[in-house]
Chains A and B, each alone.
Chain A
Amino acid sequence: MRRGALAILALAVAAVAAPLLPAPAGAQDDGLPLQPAEALVLLSDAATPPPPDTPGHRLALPAVWSDDRPEARGATAWYRMQFRLDAAPPADAAWSVYLPYLYNGGRLFLNGQPVGQVVESTPALWVRLQGPQLLHLPGHRLRAGDNWLDLRLVPRGAALVPSVPRPQIGPWTLLEPAFQQRQFWTRTMPQISAVACGVAALLMLGLWWKRRDETLYGLFGIAAALWGLRTLTFVVEVLPQAQWFWWRTLYHAGTAGFIVAMVLFACAYADRLAARSTPRWRRHLAPLLGVYAAAGPLAMLTSGGAADLWLSRWWVAGLVPLTLVAPAVMLRAVLARPGASSMLLLAAVVVAVLAGVHDQLLATNSPLLRSLLPAWSERRLFLLHHAANALLLVMGGLLVERFLQALAQLQELRASLERRVAEREAEIERHFRRIGELDRQQARLEERQRLVQDMHDGLGSQLIASLLRLERGQLPQPALADVLRGCIADMRMTLDAAAPDDHDLRSLVGNFRFRWDAQMQGSDVALDWRLDLGAERVQARPGAALQLLRIAQEAITNAVRHAGAQRVSVRFMRDGDALRLSVQDDGQGIPGWPQPRAGHGLRNMQARARRLGAELEVATGDSGTCIAVTVAGVLEPAAG
């Protein structure tokens, strides 16, 4: 995906750049475009072409900037170039002259007639044009035989003599493609770069503002910002002379600042790659670079612009060795830990350094470059613009890659965290299940213990006592039957209370009542029931219901058997989580109360009531007995 995108980008760059590389000169069989190889330089401040007999000197084209050219004396110079046409083109033919560069603007005359004017430097206006010029030549002014072009150039404020390109003359359609290409690379591209650098710098500096320890973002932001500003000085080509000085200062500051930021970026990146802190030898690199970088703009400011020429030649050249730190550091990093990203950065840095050197040689008209690459140097194409753009792209790409990597790591971290949380949750759930299981086991155990205890205390002791009395002959048969009936009734209650699927107290008390009703049916004792247990399901604490029912059982049995009652009122009343039981009869009362004879089971009832945390209330007299007990905090909503 990313490789595909890179390949497409490379192809696009190649497609746009390709026409720049082959020299268009002499490419046509018919000798077009015409390219005058020399010019006659005439010095004249006149507004019209000087007469042919004006003294001048010959100059080979293209003519590079040089101090020792005669026209370098602040005079207006006319560059007269001759070309020959075998036949005059039609009067309405669209011909043109293509000038790859015309840095200071100027005026063009064809056969003595003005044909074009490009904005030129004046004492008030500073002009530095980066783009090519394509000027229209009217067909009717061209003639068969010799023609001559006059290019009038005024000197710029300082004693700088401009470079003069070799013009190309031919039909408009023939020259326009080359013009458009160069226009794109020298005018459009810097505009795009300036905007893109500004946006990228804002983004990265914003990011850095939030994450101060991410030095790479900050360095990239600074590099992009400075490079954007430097590029801006190429985009804005016409300035009032007064502003020019600041513009140049900004240019120098941008160039040097970019180089410093780029070198520091490479160092920081290499350190990050090797996962180490800054080596000691490099601790002073940043201040050193900073001082050198600041020296240029400072010199500009203090000299009032006079140092510009000197700075352009020497101070900028001095940046080159400092720049070399970047490829050196990156090379070491790549050798230590080879990787596609770092190799890409290394390549971009190397290309940028080479481009910088190239541009410096070109700008200073170095004889070295001219002798090595004469045809190339003639075209005066500056490369650092593009190499720096590419470098910034690579740097930004690396940052984006780092960002994406961090994002991916974060996602992975979160996924693993979620996984671990899920595992922990499952573990906790297992623990809970285990605890729940243990609780249930505990509950079962307690239930069983309660049943055993219950049988031991209740049925067991009753049966044994009865057996002993029977063996002593003290238990007559009707009494024995009573005992056994009591035991059976008790077991029924126990079974009812232990029913696994029915915890509703209403149904438990209902069963109790049902059995008593069945038992009392046809007898002369009337049982009057009142069950105020509310409308919703309610259950008693484990074991408590059974104890209460037993108290009720004992009380009703006493009333029916011993007190000779005719009417027994049984009440179960719920009051919140408290339950009150009362059994009221109209019998003869308990003889000898409060010290009753044994056998009335009163002690039993009292013991049961105490076990429930309550006190048995007994009120007895000639007109009957009332036995009641209120158990607090015993009720809760039933499950299921």
Chain B
Amino acid sequence: MGIAVLIVEDESECLRRFVDVVLADPALTLVGAVSSGQAAITMADASPPDVVLVDLGLPDVDGIEVIRHVVRHHPQAEVLVVTMFGDDAHIVAAVEAGATGYLLKDAAPRQIVEAIHAIRAGDAPITPSIARRVLSRFRALHAPAPATAPTTAPTTAPTAEAVASPLTERETEILQLVGKGLSFADVAQLLEVSPHTVVTHVKRIYRKLAVHSRGEAVFEARSMGLL
């Protein structure tokens, strides 16, 4: 039994391509290929996947919802968000929902397979601009509310960052270095750790962002009387 893969994609050409790639790799098992969010949720519950490839622009349910459902009910599953252009806003939203990686729709078959294997092995791709967005998301989430403490200005100092956000100093450092355009290899060399360690950190960062943004959402919803 290989890696169980669930594909959620409403564009048939894309879906077909992903299905072909998954079927072509003996190490991967296709547990489902669906084109709607509702079907994806049903499918995931029926046969829990190891990896979910999910497009954000689904016709019925928002892809983000699908990601949330999968992460909540099947925490062992890794979610790869499928995007058209790899634009930051979508990816960060997906990461906040619980995704740990992303795939470009035009990726070569080899790249798709590699990405699925890599994410199972603990990989977590991050571009400089995504790193920056993640950093600023943490700042926004953990900066004190302006109304209660108007004098506390947001700060970029790593030590202050560590106090204000749940990121460790090392994680913040990695995000800042990646945000400046350094590759994982560069970062690893600079921090004198292995590239693998850097990736592990990034993955942990993604998890934290997901947890915190969700916690934040629940808290906000509660305070607004929605829950």
Main secondary structure of the interface of A (DSSP, over half): helix
B106 pairs with A499, CB closer than 8 A: no
* Residue picked from B125, B179, B181, B182, most chain A C-beta under 10 Å: B181
Q: From the candidates B88, B114, B181, name the one contacting A510 in the complex (CB within 8 A).
A: B181
19 residue pairs from A and B, CB less than 8 Å apart: A485-B106, A491-B85, A495-B85, A501-B133, A502-B132, A504-B180, A507-B132, A507-B181, A508-B181, A510-B127, A510-B128, A510-B183, A511-B127, A514-B183, A515-B86, A515-B127, A517-B183, A529-B183, A533-B181
B161 → A minimal CB distance (Å): 17
Q: Contacts A502-B129, A511-B129, A521-B114 hold; do A492 and B86 have CB atoms under 8 A apart? A: yes
Tell me which residues across on chain B come within 8 A of A499, comparing CB atoms. Answer: 87-88, 129
- A274 to B124 Cα, complex, angstroms: 93
Task: Report whether B85 and A510 are in contact in the complex, using a CB–CB cutoff of 8 Å.
Answer: no
Docked complex: B38-62 residues within 8 A CB-CB of A: none
Contacts of A533 in B (CB 8 A): 181
* Chain B residue contacts of A492, Cβ below 8 A: 85-86
Binding site secondary structure of chain B: helix
In the complex, chain B residues whose CB is within 8 Å of the CB of A237: none
Whether, in the assembled complex, A506 has its beta carbon less than 8 Å from a beta carbon of chain B, the answer is yes
Chain A residues with CB under 8 A of B178: 510
Is B110's CB within 8 Å of the partner chain A?
A: yes
* Interchain CB contact under 8 A, A496 and B183: no
Q: Size band of the B side of the interface?
A: 20 to 34
How many angstroms between the C-alpha atoms of A506 and B182 in the bound complex?
9
In the complex the two chains form, what is the Cα distance from A338 to B183 in whole Å?
A: 93
B111 interfacial by beta-carbon distance below 8 Å: yes
Q: Give the residues in chain B near A485, CB-CB below 8 Å.
A: 106
Nearest first, the 6 A-B pairs at minimum CB distance are A510-B181, A510-B128, A507-B128, A506-B181, A514-B127, A506-B180
Closest residue of chain A to B88 (Cβ to Cβ) is A499
Q: Within the assembled complex, what's the spacing in Å between the Cα atoms of A529 and B182? A: 10
CA distance A492 to B110 in the complex (A): 20
A10: Cβ under 8 A from any B Cβ: no
* A507 with B129, Cβ < 8 A, contacts A513-B183, A518-B111, A531-B181 known: yes
CA distance A492 to B127 in the complex (A): 13
Query: CA of A233 to CA of B128 in the docked complex: distance in angstroms?
Result: 100
Which B residues contact A (CB, under 8 angstroms)? Answer: 85-88, 106, 110-111, 114, 125, 127-129, 131-133, 136, 178-183
**What is the CA–CA distance of A519 and B114 in the complex, to the nearest angstrom?**
11
Residues of B within 8 A of A504 (CB): 132, 179-180
User: Complex Cα distance A515/B108, Å?
Assistant: 13
A540 within 8 A of B: no
Chain B nearest CB from A579 CB (Å) reads 14
Q: How far is it, in angstroms, between the C-alpha of A580 and the C-alpha of B86 when the chains are bound?
A: 27
- Which B residues touch A404, using CB under 8 A? none
Assembled-state Cα–Cα distance A509/B111 (Å)? 22
Known: A488-B85, A495-B85, A501-B136. 4 other contacts (CB 8 A): A499-B87, A507-B181, A510-B129, A513-B183
In the complex, residue of chain B having the shortest beta-carbon distance to the beta carbon of A505: B181
Best-buried of A492, A499, A507, A522 by chain B (most CB within 10 Å): A507
How far does the Cβ of B36 sit from chain A's closest Cβ, in whole Å?
Answer: 26
A484-502 contacts to B, CB under 8 A, are: 485, 488, 491-492, 495-496, 499, 501-502
Cα A492 to Cα B83 in complex, Å, equals 11
Chain A residues with Cβ below 8 Å from B106 are: 485, 488
B1 to chain A, nearest CB (A): 26
User: In the complex the two chains form, is B114's CB within 8 Å of A507's CB?
Assistant: no
CA distance A511 to B178 in the complex (A): 10
